[in-house]
Amino acid sequence: MGEMIVVTVVGADKPGIVAAISSVLAEAKANIVDISMTVLRGFFSMIMVVDISEAVSDLSELRERLEERGKEVGVRVMVLHEDVFRYMQKV
């Protein structure tokens, strides 16, 4: 089983958000394994589970690039390691 991160994207909806974020992941060879996306009254939110075990850049570098790209398209990006969820949600 690979090393997973959870990428969350929130902000006002507009064209190109998914493409912007997923292209950064693709460049880093990070694989999206699960995705959930909603747009509620113009508010965009997306949660992605991403496998980074084959990724070519390390996590802090990837986080920086995602946050930067997020800023360019006007959304907030948050990157958390899967361990956080495993520890907090599972007994």
Binding residues for another protein, rule: CB under 8 A, are: 1-2, 4-6, 8, 33, 36, 47, 49, 51, 59-60, 63, 78-91
Residue 65 or 85: the one with the smaller Cβ distance to another protein is 85
Residue 5 or 20: the one with the smaller Cβ distance to another protein is 5
The CA-CA-CA angle for residues 25, 31, 37, to 5°, reads: 75
Under 8 Å between Cβ of 27 and 2: no
| Shortest Å, Cβ 8 to another protein | 5
Sign of the four-CA dihedral 72, 76, 80, 85: negative
Residue 2 or 16: the one with the smaller Cβ distance to another protein is 2
Output the CA torsion 49→53→59→61 (10° steps): -110
| Shortest Å, Cβ 85 to another protein | 6
